[in-house]
Amino acid sequence: MHKSLKKYFPVFVMPVLAAFTVSFLAPFAMGVYLSFTRFKTVDSSEWVGFENYISIFTQDETFLYSLWLTVRFTVVSIITVNVLAFAVALLLTRKLKGINFFRTVFFMPNLIGGIVLGHIWSLIINGILGFYGVDITYDPSYGFWGLVVQMNWQMIGYMMIIYIAGLQNIPEQINEAAAIDGASPVRKLFSITLPMVMPSVTICTFLTLTNSFKLFDQNLALNGKNAETSLLALDIYKTFYDHTGLRLAEWHGIGQAKAVVFFLLVAVIAFVQLRVTGRKEVEH
Amino acid sequence: MAAIEFRNVIKRFDNGKVTVIPDLSLEIKDKEFIVLVGPSGCGKSTTLRMIAGLEDITEGELYIDNKRVNNVAPKDRDIAMVFQSYALYPHMNVYKNMAFALKLRKVPKKEIDKKVRWAASILDIEPYLDRKPRALSGGQRQRVALGRAMVRNPKVFLLDEPLSNLDAKLRTEMRSQITMLHKRLQTTFVYVTHDQTEAMTMADRIAVMDKGVIRQFDTPQKLYAEPADMFVAGFIGSPRMNFIECEIKRRNDYLTAEFAGNSLRIPSAKTKALEAYENRTVILGIRPEDISAYSGGMNMQESCVITANADIAEMTGGEVNVYFTLENSRCIARIRTERKITSGDKIKLLLDCNMAHFFDKETTKAIGRI
């Protein structure tokens, strides 16, 4: 058994490894390389060392602004999405009529594509703001909260499903023991329920964090034209495609360097978050 | 320390469509150790959960310590419960598990510490106070669950099949530990189990339940010696009581029970009740331990010798369980014998007439309970 596994190991692994190399590893390595160059196309690159990385912080004013905006947006989204999703999950794990219908309804926004969602919310928000004679670009805070509302609307249903699974995993007898011990509903929530759904909290925080940090299409569709409400992913896109003329190769290099920094940030933050929340998980 | 009383309690599930407890009246005395025993689905756990307040009472009244508790929340009933799965909080260590209820009641820290350490020392779990439940064995978890109940010093201890997840050796150990705990704490204990050995060894009184009805509520000795009906007779005792159809006949001045060509003389104490059954079919019940190997020279007025084929013979150590067939009934005898009995042997067995039970074939009720 072990011998034949060894013998056929390459047969099973090679196709996946080849596909992974061609579609992920090679472009990723190429991307990292290009971040150290100025280029118009992949074939015409000129090595500039760390110049692009320095330029991100010296020449380009939008990067740090977008980064700070993204951080604020991510923090607000993580809190609102998870608190609301958990609250909805708590409601929908009670023995109420029509629970399956509500679960489906809450999950449905997640089935709509980001661009479509962005345009729908752009129509709704601008429709409301129209009564006051302004639109979403009038004030950056409108755009910011518009993004938050849209993110919540889309993500709550998905996170709710994960929280429902977590809540249903708590043995009924634990809840009964808490009731006999004298825990009030609020105390039970914080002392028993929350610690016991920590695996769900870990995965939901991770998903909200990475999805918020990487948000692009909804941002583009909702308020993409406004530089003041461009999140990091959209800012990188704009660095690439909104510049023309002689310095095109330089902006391409800077955009590529931003993308590498962006990747490192997401990876480090997600890793730290997984370690922090993962430590609080318990085995049932 | 409290008495518990069920007054005509009815429990229905599924919006009244399924009746689990049709009409339950039961009085449990203060400081008593009561065991609710019965097969799966007989309503024993539901009864316990009604005492705990984890199940609503559909109709009737429940009193704890002379106070009507139908609408009192579990936390306000002053009860503690030990669950089958232990229900320990997995994210808290043993100390915190035991201290949780006291902390919620705002008991001073010093007193909590004293109580937790007192319970831990009785249950021998002091070395594990810092451990999380997953780092404990089944027996240790069980003791923590008991400790969590003990520190509360409740009026009533409720135990829902607390030993069923333990292996046989540990179960025996914990059985005696729980009995000792009851003696020490002097509190009312209500214990649910489907294991009649647990019930017999631990209880002051046992309520045998079937389909939501209490068939008999009595001391272990009485249940064994004077079962009220065939259900109780079959449920209490291991191996279960043998049931053989027989006909009551008059022979001069005494009655006999006739079956498969055998005649068993009915003891005078039971004659009066059985006179009404003359020439009728009744069920003879005899426990496996009241059948012995016949070696001749016995008082045949008090015994009956039957000949049977040993279908299966199981050696259990000091005794042999012999399975045989009588009047289409599968019977078993638990015999102490020097002689080796093997399957297929023809054996002579001695039935002790004084230990025979008789049941009405129609109602299954015991005839002539002394």
Tell me B68's DSSP state.
E
Question: DSSP 3-state helix, strand, coil percentages of chain B (rounded to 5)?
Answer: 30, 35, 35
pLDDT band at A284 (very low <50, low <70, confident <90, very high): low
Q: Best of A181, A201, A280, A283 to disrupt the B interface by mutation (most B CBs within 10 Å)?
A: A181
Cα of A195 to nearest chain B Cα, Å: 7
Closest CA to B106 of A194, A195, A182: A182
What length does chain B have?
370
Residues B248 and B278 sit within 8 Å (Cβ to Cβ)? yes
Q: What's the token pair of residue A130?
A: 């129209």
Six token digits for residue A141 = 């805070």
Instruction: Indicate if the pLDDT at residue A254 is higher than 80.
Output: yes
Name the token pair of B24: 């339950």
Judged by DSSP in three states, B274 sits in helix
Q: Which residues of A touch B (CB under 8 A)?
A: 171, 173-174, 176-183, 187, 191-192, 195-196, 198, 282-284
Does residue A21 surpass a pLDDT of 90? yes
CATH number of B242-360: 2.40.50.140
Helices B138-150, B94-104: crossing angle, 10 deg rounding:
20
Quick one: tokens of B141?
A: 């978890």
Residues 6 or more apart whose Cβ sits within 8 Å of residue B77: B51, B52, B53, B64, B69, B155, B156
d(CA A87, CA A90): 5
Nearest to A234 by CA among A70, A113, A97, A31: A70
- Residue A84: the pLDDT is 96
Q: How far apart are CA A143 and CA A183, in angstroms?
A: 43
| Interhelix angle B94-104/B109-123, nearest 10 degrees | 130
Q: With beta carbons under 8 A apart, name residues in chain A contacting B75.
A: 179-183
Instruction: Fill in the amino acid letter for A35.
Output: S
Taking an 8 Å cut-off on Cβ atoms, the answer to whether A176 and B101 are in contact is: no
- List the single residue in A171, A179, A282 with the smallest CB-CB distance to B91: A282
Helix (H, G, I), strand (E, B) or coil at A113: coil
Average pLDDT, chain A: 88
Nearest to B85 among A173, A178, A198 (CB): A173
Q: How far lies A125's CA from each of A137, B99, B332, in Å? A: 11, 52, 83
Q: Supply the DSSP symbol for B229.
A: B
Residue B210 half-sphere exposure toward CB, CA atoms < 13 A: 13
CB contact under 8 A, A182 and B83: no
Task: Identify any residues that bridge with B207 across adjacent strands, giving them in sequence order.
Answer: B36, B217
Residues in Cβ contact with A12 at an 8 Å cutoff, skipping those fewer than 6 apart: none
Domain residue limits, chain B: 4-235, 242-360
Whole-number pLDDT of residue B1:
62
Q: Which tens digit of pLDDT belongs to each residue from A43-85?
A: 888 888 898 999 888 888 888 899 999 999 999 999 999 999 9
3 state SS of B349: strand
Q: SS3 of A3, please?
A: helix
- Residue B154: which residues within 8 A CB-CB, separation 6 or more? B78, B79, B80, B187
Higher pLDDT, A133 or B331: B331
Percent of chain B with pLDDT over 90: 65
Max CA pair span of chain B: 80
Average pLDDT over every residue of A107-118:
85
Query: Quick one: pLDDT band at residue B370, thresholds 50, 70, 90?
Result: very low
Chain B partners within 8 Å of A283 (Cβ): 90, 134
* Nearest-CA distance B83 → chain A (Å): 7
Q: Which of B53, B75, B89 sits opposite A174 (nearest CB)?
A: B89
> What does each C-alpha distance from B39 to A23, A235, B83, B174, B209 come to in angstroms?
62, 69, 18, 22, 8
Show the tokens assigned to B281. 């079919």
* Domain B4-235, second-level architecture: 3-Layer(aba) Sandwich (3.40)
Q: Per the CB < 8 Å rule, is B87 touching A183?
A: no
Q: Taking 50 as the threshold, does the pLDDT of residue B213 lie above it?
A: yes
Q: Are B83 and A173 within 8 A, CB to CB? A: yes
Query: Phi and psi dihedrals of A164, rounded to 5?
Result: -60, -45
Give me Rg for the CA atoms of chain B: 25
How remote is the C-alpha of B221 from its chain's centroid? Answer: 11
- Residue B70 tokens read as 């139908």
- Model pTM? 0.81
Indicate whether B123 pLDDT > 70. Answer: yes
Tell me the nearest-neighbour CA distance from A160 into chain B, angstroms.
23
Residue B130 pLDDT class (50, 70, 90 cuts): very high
Q: Which two tokens stand for residue A120?
A: 């729908």
Please compute, for residue A279, the number of CA atoms within 13 A of its CA located in the half-sphere on the CB side: 5
Please tell me the least confidently modeled range out of A84-93, A241-250, B186-195.
A241-250
Query: What residue in B sits closest to A173 (Cα-Cα)?
Result: B87
CA distance A15 to A8: 12
Q: Which of B92, B169, B95 is nearest to B138 (CA)?
A: B169
- The interface predicted TM-score of the complex, written ipTM, equals 0.82
Concatenate the DSSP letters of all residues of A89-138 into one string: HHHTTSS-TTHHHHHHHHHGGGGS-HHHHHHHHHHHHHHHHHTTT--TTS
Hey, are the CB atoms on B87 and A196 less than 8 Å from each other?
Answer: no
> CB–CB of A176/B54 below 8 Å?
yes
Contact B81 A174 (CB under 8 A): no
Domains in chain A, CATH or no CATH each: 2-34 (no CATH), 51-279 (1.10.3720.10)
Helix A26-34 crosses helix A248-279 at what angle (to 10 degrees)? 120
Cis peptide before B239 (omega within 30 of 0): yes
Asked if B100 reaches chain A (Cβ–Cβ under 8 Å), the answer is yes
| Cα–Cα dist B76/A184, whole Å | 12
* Residue recorded with tokens 């469509």: B17
